[in-house]
Amino acid sequence: MSAQSKENKGGVTRIKDIAEKAGVSTGTVDRVIHNRGKVSPKVRERVLQVVSELNYEPNVLARALVSKRQYRIAALIPDPRYDEYWEAPSKGVDTAQEQLRPYGVEVRKHLFDQNDVASFKKEAEALSQMGYNGIVVAPLFYRESLSYMRRWSQEGIPFNLFNTHIPDYKPLAYIGQDSYQSGLLAGKLLHYGSKGAGTCIIAHVGEDVPNSSHLIKKEQGFMDYFRENGLNDYKSMSVDLKGYGDELFFFKQLDVVFSKYPDIIGFFVTNSRAYSIAAYLKKRGLKHILVGYDLLNMNISYLNEGVIHFLINQNPKGQGFFGVQLMADHLLFNKQVEPIRYLPLDVITKENVQYYI
């Protein structure tokens, strides 16, 4: 058997193989690979040459398993009790925690009310004082998030963003959709589903739009679709709808919208609450095109009924999972993390929804 075949038996190069070929002890190889201890320049050069020839890669997973160091990651996310959408990111965080627990990683969730900025600030302040090694956050409140991102950057604490991209203080990574592109896609879907020109309503349901950069990008993408394609007969109007939990109050707002824009052809709901407008359309017996986001139970129900025509899936579980996973890659394995991980823009209809749930 040749030396090369012996060294690569089983497809894995061992430190012992390098030591034998370089004519040194395994301890010397270990010191060279991990750059510790004293090794003469000549021996170091010889070992590194053999490492290169044998394409040796250290088993970082095995090293992490035997490491005694513990890593603590905070996940600052909205409380699913207030919005069904956040159940999926929370489950994604849990899945990542289960996979990483053997490597000494502890993930603790800090939950806030997405409708209460004081709740966000309270949890952000609490975790900022707890000495976490890394932070994963859904920065729904733009101004308040900037304040804490600046603080974490100054303190050298890496953080990942998901759901909403705020690049100002250079997060380690952003995980989520390209909000502008999803707006473009929504415009195309509404255009293709319409039977003629008219007014397209961009509906922000229960949101603080000026403090939500991702919603502004979605709106801009939607409007740009019609402008860039020369569809001048299509007008895009933005409305801010509050109180979606109070049907009477919410429906009155939509009555006003219809009286103001009698030529409405469809709605683009910029968040997961398309069901709130679907309920109105169904009750009024209206057949307008409705485009929204996310596979919430109520959205799926209206999708199957044909009241909602298209849903754009944002893969919320993947956002939570990869937010934690990429942070662990950085902390444990010193991997170079891609700064932006865009997740696919999946278009869901009643014909294919069963394959996603």
For residue 215, what is the domain's CATH number?
3.40.50.2300
Bridge partners for 239 per DSSP: 203
> What is the SS3 assignment for 356?
coil
Burial class of residue 237 in the structure, from the number of CB atoms within 10 Å of its CB (0-12 exposed, 13-18 middle, 19+ buried): middle
Please tell me whether the overall predicted TM-score, pTM, comes out greater than 0.85 for this model: no
Report the C-alpha dihedral over residues 176, 179, 183, 189, rounded to 10 degrees: -10
Distance CA 163, CA 87 (A): 13
- State the chain's mean pLDDT as an integer: 91
> What is the SS3 assignment for 163?
coil
Domain that holds residue 96: 71-177+316-343
- Report if residue 29 sits inside a domain: yes
Could you tell me the pLDDT band of residue 191, with boundaries at 50, 70 and 90? very high
Q: Are residues 300 and 186 in the same domain?
A: yes
Tens of pLDDT, residues 31-71: 887 666 778 888 888 888 888 788 776 665 555 555 567 89
Tokens of 331: 């902390």
Q: Are residues 190 and 288 in the same domain?
A: yes
Q: Are residues 204 and 297 in the same domain?
A: yes
- Report if residue 130 sits inside a domain: yes
CATH number of the domain where residue 40 is located: 1.10.260.40
On whether the CB atoms of residues 58 and 30 are closer than 8 A, the answer is no
| Percent of the residues in the chain that have a pLDDT greater than 70, as a whole number | 92
- Report if residue 262 sits inside a domain: yes
Q: Are residues 102 and 147 in the same domain?
A: yes
Comparing CA positions, the residue from 31, 101, 32, 34 lying closest to residue 65 is: 101
Distance CA 240, CA 242 (A): 7
> What is the SS3 assignment for 217?
helix
- Report if residue 308 sits inside a domain: yes
Total domains, the chain: 3
